[in-house]
Amino acid sequence: MRVYNFSAGPAMLPTAVLEQAQAELADWGGSGMSVMEVSHRGRAFGAVAANAERDLRDLLLVPEDYKVLFLAGGATLQFSAIPLNLAPAGARADYVATGTWSCRALADARRYLEVNVAADDGPGHYTGIPPEALWHKSRDAAYLHYCVNETIGGVEFPFIPSVEVPLVADVSSTILSRPLDVSRFGLLYAGAQKNIGPSGLTIVIVREDLLGRARADLPPVLDYAVQAREGSMLNTPPTFGWYLAGLVFRWLKAEGGVAAMGERNRLKAETLYGYIDGSGYYANPVVPSCRSWMNVPFRLPRSELEATFAAEAKESGLTNLEGHRSVGGMRASLYNAMPLEGVRALVSFMRDFAARHP
Ligand SMILES: Cc1ncc(COP(=O)(O)O)c(C=O)c1O
């Protein structure tokens, strides 16, 4: 039996996709082999790779002058790959600190360049986004980096910053959840394990004019220009992840694409936040205009109730509702594969739980 899995990542994938992968696992396309057992350089896998890229381009309306890379190493490797590719040693880059992931990105970048923290919501305990008018941007920054959706804090940008320099964004936990104007960005990157597919795969979408700025001593496997030239196949890419991502992109298209997902995700988020706010029992700390549609952290009136909440929820088929280990509390992640019925089932459980544990 499939449960409603509220994990922040690796996260729930569409059942239809898993069933298709299962059906063709041992004998893929009549080859007598699984997709994991064929050469990444063969014609069959080449078609998988090209179709996945085309579908992702269609879904996000990626302009022609952007490269789409399918890489290994997780979003975390990009925290280092970005400064090493986009700026010479000694350069400066602007970073906006809105929570755990943007802070991790800027801490890694500090190893390679001078980081100017243009804005920091630390004083607000990372529950909001400092108004852009108050940011201290540097005029000579190689780029400005921010995290569109902080997966742990549940803080999501409701706007795209206006900058003169290339805009670089971590979209790991928001990609494909609603429309995004790719043309406003120099580079977007995302670990796959939330809205795309299995962990281990990372998508990088980079504007071509930013290629070729990499430091000379950069390992070639980390060099975007090299990977773009080699079709992300300088070495063996994560082939199963790439294949599964392709199935998810197909599923997304059949479901109506990113605009339809946006409507669905807005409704899911409104359903849960609406209940939390009116409950007089649960609480979400995030400034309402910056509340994430994907990750909804919430607190119970007493922290002693958390373990019971998680255990009882699990018995009701609602799993992985514990908050991140660094912050505690509860968190429900509502990625694309989570249906509205899953959110309704969660709200109904929460209502019942509150009545039983006043
Ligand atoms: C927004 C964000 N950025 C980066 C990461 C790190 O991703 P990875 O584990 O793929 O390196 C995560 C992981 O959850 C994330 O949520």
Model pLDDT for residues 212-268, shown as the tens digit of each residue: 999 999 999 999 999 999 999 999 999 999 999 999 999 999 999 999 999 999 999
The hierarchical CATH code for the domain 257-356 is: 3.90.1150.10
Q: Is 301 helix (H, G, I), strand (E, B) or coil?
A: coil
Count other C-beta atoms under 10 Å from residue 162's C-beta: 9
Q: How far is the CA of 172 from the centre of ligand 1 (A)?
A: 6
Task: Tell how strand 155-156 and strand 149-150 pair up.
Answer: antiparallel
CA pair distance 325, 328, nearest whole angstrom: 6
Active site residue 65: no
CA pair distance 230, 46, nearest whole angstrom: 12
Nearest ligand 1 atom to alpha carbon 199: 10
What's the pLDDT at 54?
Answer: 98
Q: How far is CA 215 from CA 83, 94, 140, 339, in A?
A: 9, 19, 18, 45
| Catalytic site residue from 94, 121, 170, 223 | 170
- How far, in whole angstroms, is CA 182 from its chain's centroid? 15
Ligand 1, pocket residues at CB < 6 Å: 9, 74-76, 101, 147, 151, 170, 172-173, 191
Going by pLDDT thresholds of 50, 70 and 90, the confidence category of residue 1 is: confident
Q: How far is the CA of 204 from the centre of ligand 1 (A)?
A: 13
Q: How far is the CA of 219 from the centre of ligand 1 (A)?
A: 22
What does the pLDDT average to over 3-8? 98
For residue 10, whether the previous peptide bond is cis, meaning omega lies within 30 degrees of 0, is: yes
User: Over pLDDT 70: what percentage of the chain?
Assistant: 100
Nearest ligand 1 atom to alpha carbon 76: 11
CA pair distance 137, 45, nearest whole angstrom: 44
What's the pLDDT at 269?
Answer: 98
Nearest ligand 1 atom to alpha carbon 150: 1
Closest CA to 151 of 343, 335, 346, 347: 335
What does the pLDDT average to over 341-352? 98
Where on the phi/psi map is residue 30: left (φ > 0), alpha (ψ -120 to 50), or beta? left
135, pLDDT greater than 90: yes
Work out the angle between the directed axes of helices 257-279 and 239-254 (0-180°, nearest 10): 80
Q: How far is the CA of 103 from the centre of ligand 1 (A)?
A: 12
Give buried/exposed letters for 276-299 (b at 16+ CB in 10 A, else e): beeeebbebbbeeebbbbbbbbbb
Per-domain residue ranges of the chain: 16-254, 257-356
Nearest ligand 1 atom to alpha carbon 78: 11
DSSP string for residues in 147-175: ESEETTTTEE-SS----SSPEEEE-TTTT
What's the pLDDT at 326?
Answer: 87
Threshold 0.95, pTM exceeds: yes
Active site residue 194: yes
What's the pLDDT at 335?
Answer: 98
Q: Which residues contact residue 131 at a Cβ distance below 8 angstroms, ignoring those fewer than 6 apart?
A: none
Going by pLDDT thresholds of 50, 70 and 90, the confidence category of residue 101 is: very high
Nearest-CA residue for ligand 1 atom 9 is: 74
What does the pLDDT average to over 62-91? 97
Work out the angle between the directed axes of helices 257-279 and 43-60 (0-180°, nearest 10): 60
Q: Share the mean pLDDT of the chain.
A: 97
The position carrying tokens 């699984």 is: 34
For the four alpha carbons of 227, 231, 237 and 242, in that order, the dihedral sign comes to positive
| Catalytic site residue from 94, 108, 194, 251 | 194
What's the pLDDT at 321?
Answer: 98
CA pair distance 50, 28, nearest whole angstrom: 17
Nearest-CA residue for ligand 1 atom 5 is: 75
Q: How far is the CA of 41 from the centre of ligand 1 (A)?
A: 29
Quote the tokens at residue 105.
């990105």
Q: How far is the CA of 13 from the centre of ligand 1 (A)?
A: 17
Quote the tokens at residue 135.
């940011």
What's the pLDDT at 89?
Answer: 85
- CATH number (3.40.50.300, 3.40.640.10, 1.10.150.120, 3.40.50.720) of 16-254 reads 3.40.640.10
79, pLDDT greater than 90: yes
pLDDT, tens digit, for every residue of 148-176?
999 999 999 999 999 999 999 999 999 99
| Catalytic site residue from 28, 101, 135, 293 | 101
Nearest-CA residue for ligand 1 atom 14 is: 9
pLDDT, tens digit, for every residue of 286-340?
999 999 999 999 999 999 999 999 999 999 999 999 999 888 999 999 999 999 9
What's the pLDDT at 90?
Answer: 87
What's the pLDDT at 205?
Answer: 98
